[in-house]
Homo-oligomer: A and B are copies of this chain.
């Protein structure tokens, strides 16, 4: 429906490319380049850039241009602290509405997550896993907000994951196990606490690797 609209199509495509890491943080985006790539004029590109700005993926500066958003270490810490508080809320709202299908899908993803050796796959699957736990919350407000938090930290999760040895992923896997267990039991309090700890631990790990940041 609204994907027929050129600006939305461009925004969606660009977003995919950015999340996949095609443009690293700090890269300048020229409107005309994008326009050429999508065989469109600059008008829809400008609208697409505004959409991506709202998603936190690019930063616009008037009369100057657009850049792929860049985070400092303290920005990233802040985002993680927001996640620590917001995502447990979303999980709490979602949990009562998660069906057995959701749970069996979570089990599948978790198995793949433990098997893979590829960073790219890990990022993708981890994102899928967590966002799926939030699927029960039928929300037009929290959902986009949480997605935005994931989007803006994506590059730094990638950079950080690269620095980890296989052993480094162990805690995440254990936490996923615990989380899935709490979800299956529909234990909201426990699930919230585990998720909080999961995000918090990741933040503290990230703080040990300041070399990832500008």
* A residues in contact (CB < 8 Å) with B: 1-2, 5, 8, 43, 46-47, 50-51, 53-54, 61-63, 75, 78-79, 81-82, 85-86, 89, 93, 139-142, 145, 152
In the assembled complex, the Cα of A141 lies from the Cα of B53 at a distance in Å of 13
On chain B, the residues within 8 Å of A78 by CB distance are: 93, 139, 141-142
On chain B, the residues within 8 Å of A82 by CB distance are: 86, 89, 141-142, 145
On chain B, the residues within 8 Å of A141 by CB distance are: 75, 78-79, 82, 152
On chain B, the residues within 8 Å of A2 by CB distance are: 61-63
Closest 3 CB pairs of A and B: A54-B54, A2-B62, A50-B50
In the assembled complex, the Cα of A53 lies from the Cα of B55 at a distance in Å of 11
On chain B, the residues within 8 Å of A81 by CB distance are: 89, 93
In the assembled complex, the Cα of A47 lies from the Cα of B50 at a distance in Å of 8
Which among A46, A47, A81, A141 has the greatest number of chain B C-beta atoms within 10 A? A141
Q: Taking the nearest CB of chain B, how far is it from the CB of A57, in angstroms?
A: 12
**Contacting pair B62 A8 (CB below 8 A):** yes
- 17 additional contacts (CB under 8 A) given A5-B63, A47-B47, A85-B85: A1-B62, A2-B61, A2-B62, A2-B63, A5-B62, A8-B62, A43-B43, A46-B47, A50-B51, A75-B141, A78-B93, A78-B141, A81-B93, A82-B86, A82-B145, A86-B86, A145-B145
